[in-house]
Amino acid sequence: MIRILCRSAAVALVFAGSVACAPAVRRAAIIDENVAVAVRQIGMLADSAETGGVIRIPSTYKNGAVEYVPVDDWVSGFFAGTLWYMYELTGDQTWAARAQRHTEILDSVQHLQWHHDVGFMIYDSYGNGLRLKHIPGYEDVIVQTARSLSTRFRPVPGVIQSWDADRGWQGTRGWQCPVIIDNMMNLELLFKATEFSGDSTFYNIAVSHADRTMQEHFRDDCSCFHVVDYDLSTGQVRGRCTAQGYADDSAWARGQAWAVYGFTTCYRYTGDRRYLDHARRVADFMLNDPNMPDDLVPYWDYDAPNIPDEPRDVSTAAVLASAFYEMYVHTDNELYKQTADRIVESLSSPAYRAAVGENGGFLLMHSVGSIPHGSNIDVPLNYADYYFLEALIRKQRIEAGEPLF
Ligand code: GLY
């Protein structure tokens, strides 16, 4: 199916071709084809998530059933974000209405202080809603969330503490101030909160966290540790290890992708070239490591012992594709665009994208949550779909000659 892309200032247009405007750029067939599949798949998932008038948050699909998470789970914002992206890709207001419902059930997250993931949760949902629909009150939610996240800033080491060290399985590791590389993904919300509020505290916390992370999380080859634990009174590093990777000194794939994406985002908000250069070095590691498969869908850990008989992690590939489109815009280096396009092609193939009507309605198969925890292994995950749709939007904008942000 080939359609003419016609984009109004309000981003609203036209899956069904009902809005007339001058033809702009023909949207790539691979985007149209993915959107057509997503309309059916995500539509099915959204219908089941609202069965009986109750709004639930789908996270994965296992043993023939969709699984749902509570609002305080770190993945709770991705489905709302996916719905916003469906609206952006189709222009169909039905998606916006659904997205708004799924966003606003997360209202209480703005006050959540017991883990760091509120950046993911609120920016993917309220952040996209604000960007696309300018909904009154959403800015306030983002600023309040930034206040909550800032309560986790530890000034001596200069980082945001990711996890509490006295609860759950994290409480068994002897950590004082664990920081995980994933935390780079929460910084965008802080940068935005400074824009909205004029309070530079949030920006300064984000920069401090990014700088210390750049200094402490990376090895000589620019692969990164998953967890760095800091001493709260001296600020020194107490240890470097993993929680979700194969080994303390291995390269957990999604962690590397969070680093590429997170430092690229920091460059966008600060203009500080060190962040972009760092993201490029981590990307070089990911792309050049001999264990990167030809189809660019990484194994769950670059050092997993039984490669090639190890699960792939589609979520890592989706995050990378989206990050590479942004890196292309900042660098003009075609390699990033071409690599992102190759990942999108891989993920659009039957090896990774589910047939319509299958996979519980999720688009992509074969992601890995956490092998050490025995959790969500080789399943669909809502964040894989979220970053895949984001990558499609970025590809579309680049090819239409439109700004990404
Ligand atoms: N942020 C948790 C994960 O990437 O699994």
Q: Is 244 in the pocket of ligand 1 (CB under 6 A)?
A: yes
d(CA 104, CA 42): 19
Q: Is 271 exposed, middle or buried (0-12, 13-18, 19+ CB in 10 A)?
A: exposed
Mean pLDDT of 185-191: 98
pLDDT of residue 303: 98
In this prediction the pTM is 0.94
Residue whose CA lies nearest to ligand 1 atom number 5: 369
**5: pLDDT strictly greater than 50:** no
Give the active site residue among 182, 301, 303, 313. Answer: 182
Give the distance (Å) from ligand 1 centre to CA of residue 82. 17
87 close to 99: Cβ distance less than 8 angstroms: yes
Q: Is 254 in the pocket of ligand 1 (CB under 6 A)?
A: yes
| DSSP SS3 for 36 | helix
Check residues 326 and 3 and name the one with the higher pLDDT.
Answer: 326
pLDDT of residue 3: 25
Query: The tokens of 398 are what?
Result: 């680049």
**372: pLDDT strictly greater than 60:** yes
d(CA 26, CA 345): 18
pLDDT of residue 26: 85
Point out the ligand 1 atom lying closest to the alpha carbon of residue 369: 5
Give per-residue pLDDT as tens, 319-334.
999 999 999 999 999 9
127 close to 145: Cβ distance less than 8 angstroms: no
**14: pLDDT strictly greater than 80:** no
Helices (H), 151-245: 187-197, 200-216
Give per-residue pLDDT as tens, 273-310.
999 999 999 999 999 999 999 999 999 999 999 999 99
Annotated catalytic residue 182: yes
How does DSSP classify residue 243?
A: S
Annotated catalytic residue 272: no
